[in-house]
Amino acid sequence: MPPRSSPTARQQRLGGELRKLREQSGMSTQQAAALLGVDRTRIPNIEAGRFGISAERVRTLAFNYGCPDTALVDQLAAMAQERDRGWWEGHRGLLPPALIDIAELEYHASELHTAVTTHIPGLLQTEEHARAVFDTAVPPLPEPDLEARLALRLRRQEVLDRDRPVSYEAVIHEAALRMRFGGAEVTRAQLEHILEHSDRDTVSVRVIPFAAGGFPGAGQSFTYVSAPVPQLDTVQLDSSHGSLLLDADMKLRRYRGLLDRLRGLALSATESRAFIRAIALDL
């Protein structure tokens, strides 16, 4: 089987976790290769996500690396078994890989926590609002690219509507709610859309009002992607230069702490609904 020319973020994460376990055990790549009966160059390629690995071999390596965390090993083995092409693969080659990686992360997440300051979270955007946001891109997006991004964003929202929806929490600053992308009518419909979703048991929307004053992380938007085991959590950062994925333990702790502080500043879910409704009535 030829190596993957462009491994996905999830394939790279599996390899990276196996590398962590090997390095913690003090075992060399040559010793790990001997365990599997493969050439020594195979291990670096597996750890970079360029080559796949079977679930059985994941368990073999984890056992010999002395990993005591059976829940983590089970999840790594499950990741190794993923062979089906997700719907997002149909967009690969049409859009930047980072956008495809976000869709894959959300699909496999057990929980999603988003904090935004100037934009409505993508999973809660209406089609009209999303189109208006994409229309502000600099330089302007070519029509085919805009339509491809819009289609991906709307398809991503299925994680909130599927039979077993992901648990979703959005902490939104008042500034994002008052940004009139597409004008007053589109904004009003967008706010009503948020209210409808926030009425679901699996969706929580919390608002940080201007009255809360300054707060940590005010200049960035991020999503904390919770995996079935915390070691596989990921933070996705948005910026004008694209998306960045973080999974180092120290970074994960930092953003968990930041989420806790933002929740402390935000209105309750009930107060937030009333707040959003009041903004909509002002339009």
pLDDT digits (tens, 9 = 90+) for 145-182: 999 999 999 999 999 999 999 999 999 999 999 999 99
4 in a structural domain: no
Domain count, the chain: 2
Compute φ and ψ for 215, nearest 5 degrees.
-155, 155
pLDDT class for 240, splitting at 50, 70, 90?
low
1 in a structural domain: no
CA distances from 69 to 10, 72, 199, 221, 251 (A): 20, 5, 37, 32, 21
Beta carbons within 10 angstroms of residue 71's beta carbon: 12
Q: Are 47 and 19 in contact (CB under 8 A)?
A: yes
pTM: 0.93
Question: Residue 82 corresponds to which tokens in the numbers above?
Answer: 């993923």
Give the model's pLDDT for residue 215.
85
> Which range marks the domain in which residue 199 is found?
87-282
CATH of the domain at 16: 1.10.260.40
pLDDT class for 1, splitting at 50, 70, 90?
low
pLDDT class for 141, splitting at 50, 70, 90?
very high
- Name the domain boundary from 40, 64, 81: 81
Same domain (yes/no): 151, 65: no
**Mean per-residue pLDDT of the chain:** 95
Same domain (yes/no): 106, 239: yes
189 in a structural domain: yes
- Name the domain boundary from 81, 114, 132: 81
From CA 217, how far away is CA 64, in angstroms rounded?
Answer: 41
Same domain (yes/no): 20, 130: no
How many residues in the chain?
Answer: 283
